[in-house]
Amino acid sequence: MTDKTVDPSLRSWVEVAAESDFPIQNLPYGIFKAGGREAAAGVAIGDHILDLAAIHEAGLFSATAIARDNVFARSALNKFMSLGPAVWKETRGRISALLSAGNAELRDNQALRVRALIPQRDAMMTLPARIGDYIDFYTSRDHATKVGIMFRGPAEALSANFLHMPIGYHGRIASFAVSPHDVRRPHGQMRPTADAPPVFGATGRLDFELELGVFVGVGNEEGVPIPAAGAREHLFGAVLLNDWSARDIQQWESTPLGPHLGKSFGTLISPWIVTFDALEPFRAAGPPHDFPDLPYLQTGSDGAYDIHLEAMVQTPTMKNPARVCATNFRYLYWNVAQMIAHGSINGARFVPGDLYGSGTISGPGEDSAGCLLESTRNGTKPLTLADGVKRGYLEDGDRVIFRGWAGGDGYRVGFGECTGAILPAG
């Protein structure tokens, strides 16, 4: 059956600018506070938020599966996410109907409309879910190859396992924040030269990583892996993710184990979760694989998503940000279904609200590097941003801005912004 919620001709009675990230075909979920009220769930529509808790309280979900439980009157989306794809689709369809141009239920109920439709500028966004666990993957062949050449040479650029499984490590949940949020330059151990002892101080190689984060909706039982072929039934939606990285700290500590203090000081996500239902029209083929995937990793040929991504840097002296990366989510060697399949193949449990990152999303071109480590050759070839301003790595006061969107027929399904600035070390 055709999903009417992604019909390109669908229009809302709420005014939505042509270039908006949040047309009626999107309807991403988030948690917000406004007007002294408790935190609640909403969806973005144009420049506004539709308060779903207020809509539920008014009885407009009375004919749906969530009628008896106001799952939106909560400070996190975990309960709603746990209800599964049938409920997600039904609820999305109901919200879409309420906002559609020809539907008068909410449009002509002035009192409810005033209460439930809130300008985004008047709201404060919070983390959309209680994040129980976090895996950061390493799935871009372009990124892994270029960084591998930098440190190990062309012959050993890719590790032997990269082309056979999605590689990942666990990060620190308490360090997550929702955009906009600034990060303080961290301290740690570094070893500037191989023939000298390590030193302690503030990182001099602070970097961003342009990623997408994927939220798990429905989990699995202990000992029961999630197959790649059915993984989308478990995945709720995606956000922009910036896994801030201190490269000098990371390089010294990552022998022999993976990143620790070089990553755990801060991870930033955009506030709106764009559902995979909204992204369904943008399914695409990913890169061909060099070897046949093992059975548990096998998916269809359209396992990727055509999502445009860009990173910008704005220094304190610049009036406007300069774009330093333009890439696409479809470039990743391993797709979202394969990541969760691999993460659960040993029987590990995923629960609603768990999050995993795609890893740095780089493409084949010189301008598609998803981090400064790659684009500046570890700071040795600084980028020229504007008016002669150069950056090898981020300096205090610099702001990083991520944007992402999938282009539809006359509309775009966007993620909003993920932005933060660098504060001086304490």
Question: Where in the sequence numbering do the catalytic residues fall?
Answer: 143
CA dihedral 158, 162, 166, 170 (to 10 degrees): -60
Buried b (16+ CB within 10 A) or exposed e, 224-236: ebbbbbebbebbb
Closest to 400 in 3D by CA, of 417, 384, 376 = 417
Q: Quote the CA–CA distance of 226 and 8 in Å, as a whole number.
A: 33
Cα–Cα distance list, 38 to 69, 269, 276 (Å): 17, 22, 28
In the structure encoding, which two tokens stand for residue 172, read together?
A: 């620190």
DSSP state of 288: P
DSSP state of 229: G
C-beta of residue 366 within 8 angstroms of C-beta of residue 192:
no
Cα–Cα distance list, 415 to 45, 162, 244, 404 (Å): 12, 29, 19, 6
